Chains A and B, each alone.
Chain A
Amino acid sequence: MKNIPISAVIGLFFTALYFLAAIFAPLLAPYGVGEVVGDVWEPSSSEYLLGTDNIGRDLLSRMIYGGRTTIFIATAATALSFILGSVLGFFAAVAGGWVDQALSRFVDLVMSIPTLIFALVVLSVAPVTIPMLIIVMGLLDATRVYRLARAVAVDIEVMDYVEAARLRGEKVGWIIFREILPNALSPLIAEMGLRFIFMVLFVSTLSFLGLGVQPPEADWGGIVKENKEGIVYGIPAALIPAFAIATLAISVNLVADWVLNRTTSLKGGRG
């Protein structure tokens, strides 16, 4: 851990900052999430560090609580998509034959429908709750992870050590989790960083369109939506969540890059 490049330090710092802010939101936020404390769109002051929003709530508090919701949903959905996508992808690669065909063609089918439209359709029918959001986003994104995991696993699956495990009589579970997974980890981790950011954008987009997190709960997409009229009057409230999303995206990817470099530079490890 001695030689962390400066880019990774910056990435780690900001990522940690955002996650800690999300975890300790109730302690950090100066006001409640739905509490109207001032006038509409007040400029920043010592009382309201980032000013107030379109109905006079403290923007900093909204940002902190909103970050909590956004990050939580994105993390949970990423975890769901990775667990599901990679296990199925590995399974398809190891099983081969019709199992692989059936799974892969089904995934192709789902991927042929644009994700956002698919999500909008599902969410306009189903109740929009946070677990529902996580499930919809996680399932849709699992198709992308499946493709990557399968492609990586197909390469590993033909290695002699996997054949040796088969000849030993190992079960599919061992081959997937003990032979393939450790060797597929680095591309998956790199992808995870990228996917997490897509999730943040996805949930923000849904909220912006009114099908994501419902008011009075805050999330970054929702804050943009509530304050978008202000831009016309030169009020920067809508840009602050955009800035938060951008910095989070960059810092998470700086960390993912570093993890990728570290794991692939292990001699004998594969990329």
Chain B
Amino acid sequence: MSDTLLKVRDLKIGATIYPPGEKPKDIEIVHGVSFDLAPGKVLGLIGESGAGKSTIGLASMAYGRGGVKITGGEVWVNGRDILKTGHRDVRALRGGEVTYVSQSAAASFNPAKKIMDQVVEAAVEQKKFSRKDAEARARTLFAKLGLPDPDNIGDRFPHQVSGGQLQRCMTALALCPEPDLVVFDEPTTALDVTTQIDVLMAIKEAIRDTGVAALYITHDLAVVAQVSDDIMVLKMGNTVEYGNVDQIINNPQEEYTKALVSVRSIEHEEKAPTPDPVLSVRNITARYKGTNFDVLKNVNVDLYPGQTLAVVGESGSGKSTLARVITGLLPPREGEIEFAGRKLSPDLAGRSREDLRELQMIYQMADVAMNPRQTVGTIIGRPLEFYFGMRGAEKKKRIIELLDEIELGEKFIDRYPAELSGGQKQRVCIARSLAAKPKMIICDEVTSALDPLVADGILKLLLDLQKIEDVAYLFITHDLATVRAISDNIAVMYQGQVQRYGGKSKVLSPPFDDYTDLLLSSVPEMRLGWLEEVIANRKMESAGN
């Protein structure tokens, strides 16, 4: 056995794409990447979406997802080139020497089989352990990963444990056959921040205790800094920078890495409340039809003209439900909403066109918030036509103005959403809501589906537009860095209630209540040793446990 477990040399990966109306063509998505991984070490692969990091991770199992083909280079695992060995060897490798942890455990577990059956499957199949030994090992791993009731949790079905627990079960699944290498593909991205650190810590300890090597793939540099020994920064299938974690975080050489490392560059001065709020939510209690559980309990918040109210909380805290109540999609059981000095009808049907115009919404997933069969011009033009009766040249002129405001320009007018990048799509959605000349826009997690640098651009744009158009934002997010960057007031929500509410400086300075403290401390910080510090200082368990 050599001292490098995984040796990748000049790896090239290609894919076939099918552009509409053209012949399918082959493109190269990874252009010659090389790295080494010693036994027991962790290499972090980091980059934005499309950087090729997952593709490289899977290639180390000699696998290409979808139409992806490994077109060149060498991948040596334990001293043999797995791209050249036959199918039989590759089968022995996968699930035996190399295992994989995917982003969404919920989508990867078979909902019809018990967790234990799935966790031991690979180990038994590969004849590494007998079923009995494998189960014993699985229980040890469950305990090591901090899962509650490790002796019996394997008898549960995947839907009977929480998301954070399931992600740890998946880690147990990957570690069960005693692999030499585990590929972690964004294992904590789908989790809440407070759950994320538990899973992260569990993974880190499991890696240390079992002596396994790992490839850790993520887009979040602060996360990868906590678990890796080395980091490779990727962009568009090329290596940007490759070095040990200390050097990358504390002394990045390349511009791109510096941009990733630098903390959010947005500065925003908190504005003082004005006398008349544009939106006042009074004593709102709401539940979904057919349930007997109040998702919102007695919520009171105010939003002032031209300012930003950030509503923060984990998934399930009721923040998106609040948006649905304000827009009229979910009439509340109790309480009322005052908007621009008038009382809003609780349901959508009772609202005037003026109410609808002045209260706009931007969605999390820009992909599905725009009709894929309409051009950008139609999408932005419709509110102009609908609310202001604009036609022809006048409408076109205004569309172009709006496109300029969102920094895209006239050439985008005839494009379809599918021809835009994620950030551009979100910009078009912003333009669509601005077209209505609203007094207030609800932004529901508008940056959480975007890469960090792109998200930064969107936030800057929103702040600039706020100055120009004097529009108020109700900003729903789980990301505290975003909140710090843009808000004037903050409402922290927990289990349907407003836990803490007030001006930004007040909410974000001590003394904290336990929940706010947990939330604030869970935001990954770009420094080494942060994870251990947080775990040591916590006052409260996260909800995902």
Contact = CB atoms under 8 A, between A and B. Distances in A.
B383 interface: yes
Nearest to A3: B23
Interface stretch (A146-154, A165-173, A233-241): A165-173
Contact of A265 (B20, B348, B374): B20
A20 to B, nearest CB: 28
B416 interface: yes
A179 interface: yes
Contacts of B25: none
Contacts of B357: 169
Contact of A160 (B327, B356, B363): B363
Contacts of A164: 361, 363, 369, 432
B353 A161 contact: no
A266 interface: yes
Interface in B356-397: 356-357, 360-361, 363, 365, 367-374, 382-383, 386
A268 B327 contact: no
A163 interface: yes
Given A163-B329, A167-B356, A268 B418 contact: yes
A160 B329 contact: no
A53 to B, nearest CB: 48
A166 B374 CA distance: 16
B369 A161 contact: yes
A161 B386 contact: no
Contacts of A166: 329, 348
A268 B386 CA distance: 25
Contact of B372 (A163, A168, A170, A270): A270
A244 interface: no
Contact of A183 (B20, B363, B369, B371): B371
Contacts of A183: 371-373
B371 A179 contact: yes
A163 B351 CA distance: 15
Given A167-B348, A169-B386, A161 B371 contact: yes
A121 interface: no
B363 A267 contact: no
B368 A168 contact: no
A270 to B, nearest CB: 7
Interface centre among A169, A179, A183 (most CB of B within 10 A): A169
A123 B18 CA distance: 50
Contacts of B18: 265
Contacts of A182: 371, 373-374
Given A3-B23, A159-B368, A268-B418, A168 B383 contact: yes
Contacts of B373: 182-183, 269
Interface in B313-351: 327-329, 348, 351
A160 B369 contact: yes
B418 A266 contact: yes
Given A160-B363, A160-B365, A170-B386, A267 B418 contact: yes
Nearest to B352: A169
B370 A161 contact: yes
A161 B368 contact: yes
A3 B20 CA distance: 11
A266 B20 contact: yes
A269 B20 CA distance: 11
Interface string A83-120: 00000000000000000000000000000000000000
A125 B426 CA distance: 60
Interface string A249-271: 00000000000000001111110
B417 interface: yes
Nearest to B370: A161
Nearest to A158: B368
A161 B329 CA distance: 14
Contacts of B363: 160, 164
Interface in B11-29: 18-20, 22-23
Nearest to B353: A169
A266 B373 CA distance: 10
A115 B496 CA distance: 53
8 contacts: A160-B365, A164-B363, A166-B348, A167-B328, A169-B353, A169-B386, A267-B19, A268-B417
Closest 10 CB pairs of A and B: A268-B418, A182-B373, A268-B372, A267-B418, A160-B369, A169-B356, A161-B371, A160-B363, A160-B368, A266-B20
Given A168-B382, A168-B436, 6 more contacts: A159-B368, A160-B365, A161-B371, A182-B373, A183-B372, A267-B418
